[in-house]
Amino acid sequence: MTNWDQYVRPAIRAMAGYTPGEQPQSGGVLKLNTNENPYPPSPKALEAMRKVLDEHGAERLRRYPEPLGDRFRATAARVLGVQPGNILIGNGSDDILTILTRALVPEGGRVLSMEPSYLLYGTLASLQGATLQEVSFAPGWDLPEPWPQPGANLVFLPNPNSPSGTLVGLDRIRKLLPQLRAPLVLDEAYVDFAPVSGLELVREGLPVIVTRSLSKGYALAGLRFGFAIADAALVKELEKVKDSYNCDALSLAGAEAALADQEWLADTRARVLASRAHLEKGLEHLGFSVTPSQANFVWCRHPQHAAKTLFDGLKAQNIFVRLMRYAGHPDGIRITVGTPEGTQRVLDTLAGLVGRPA
């Protein structure tokens, strides 16, 4: 037997690894645990991928894909009002977050994240042999002022944040940026459900990198596609860090068509926001305390019923939500906004569990 401990980097051995949400593969489950879109993706995205297979199939898949995704970049640049050189493609936005950490955070460096927030940032810091420091939100889910930890290698702010679903206004970010004395990653995985984006901060030349995902707003979590919008000079450096062919030919074609179909996005967004309002109202009616959400999920807890009990009770009825436990915060559940029927089903089931009529 080989003792691999002697070869594996100590930083890797010491870390726990990121635990993704459960991905049950059987049917019949109402899956509200990892913030997927409840609607199918744009038919144009599906058609674009079919076309790759049917018309160019053998030839397109025999060859390597475009390394920088130039066609996707041209379309995304037009839709977003930036230059193609401002865009970096990724195999999901998690890939983009990895590339950013590898490029900007040295071993022994310092990464900042908000608390509570997306747990992957801590994993990325550990992989790099860097430390993660967490910054608490100010009341009202605002950024604290003065900024308590100036001078990190990288600061991550999901906007909207998960699990809170809350959004920090652009004026606050603009005001706090000089105090950070560090580049800021605005992780906009949920921006398609929010009223504003930080894209203009990139256009203004501020030290901000915006990351986007096709997993939530565009209903393409299975495709694995995300991208960053940043200063063109930084994008050039990041291109050195990424795998040469980090996005495959099918995902590039699907992502380009999905982004071009803004009509689909507007329509789907309107439906999800309507269900979100229904879910929030229904939860409040059942006595939950609900954090008002700008994303496609709702974070809540019940003053009389433990989050774990509700989580288990829902699961027993084939409804998966995410149990959220953070030190210093009461346990809560995070419920993805589903279709109107799915939303009603989770509300009816919770009504049974808390013993009140829905």
Are 221 and 94 spatial neighbours (Cβ–Cβ below 8 Å)?
no
Are 264 and 223 spatial neighbours (Cβ–Cβ below 8 Å)?
no
C-beta of 118 vs 320, nearer to ligand PLP: 118
Strands 226-229 and 87-90: antiparallel
Are 120 and 95 spatial neighbours (Cβ–Cβ below 8 Å)?
no
Give the range of 90-98, 125-133, 257-265, 269-277 binding ligand PLP by CB under 6 A.
Answer: 90-98
C-beta of 65 vs 116, nearer to ligand PLP: 116
E-assigned strands of the chain? 30-31, 87-90, 110-115, 131-136, 154-158, 184-187, 208-213, 226-229, 289-291, 297-301, 319-320, 322-324, 332-336
Give the range of 86-94, 146-154, 264-272, 339-347 binding ligand PLP by CB under 6 A.
Answer: 86-94
Q: Which two tokens stand for residue 349?
A: 């089931």
Q: Output the smallest distance, CB 275 to ligand PLP, in A.
A: 18
Residue 94 sits in the site that holds ligand PLP (CB under 6 A): yes
Q: Provide the sign of the torsion angle of the four alpha carbons 309, 312, 318, 324, taken in this order.
A: positive
User: Is 161 strand, coil or helix?
Assistant: coil
C-beta of 92 vs 122, nearer to ligand PLP: 92
Give the range of 87-95, 201-209, 247-255, 257-265 binding ligand PLP by CB under 6 A.
Answer: 87-95
C-beta of 197 vs 215, nearer to ligand PLP: 215
Residue 221 sits in the site that holds ligand PLP (CB under 6 A): yes
Strands 131-136 and 289-291: unpaired
Q: Within 105-124, which residues bind ligand PLP (CB under 6 A)?
A: 118
Among 122, 158, 183, 342, binds ligand PLP (CB under 6 A): 158
Q: For residues 140 and 94, give the distance between their C-alpha atoms in angstroms, rounded to a whole number.
A: 27
Among 41, 84, 217, 226, binds ligand PLP (CB under 6 A): 226
Q: Which two tokens stand for residue 187?
A: 């992780």
Number of residues that bind ligand PLP (CB under 6 A): 12
Residue 193 sits in the site that holds ligand PLP (CB under 6 A): no
Among 65, 127, 168, 187, binds ligand PLP (CB under 6 A): 187
Q: Within 230-289, which residues bind ligand PLP (CB under 6 A)?
A: none
Q: Which two tokens stand for residue 108?
A: 């022994």
**Which of 222, 293, 297, 295 lies closest to 258, judged by CA?**
222
Instruction: Report whether the peptide linkage leading into residue 65 is cis, meaning its omega lies within 30 degrees of zero.
Output: no
Which residue is at the shortest CB distance from ligand PLP?
92
Residues with Cβ within 8 Å of 14's Cβ and at least 6 positions away in sequence, in order, are 126
Among 123, 153, 213, 336, binds ligand PLP (CB under 6 A): 213
Residue 93 sits in the site that holds ligand PLP (CB under 6 A): yes
Q: Output the smallest distance, CB 163 to ligand PLP, in A.
A: 9
> What residues make contact with ligand PLP under the rule CB under 6 A?
92-94, 118, 158, 162, 187, 189, 213, 215, 221, 226
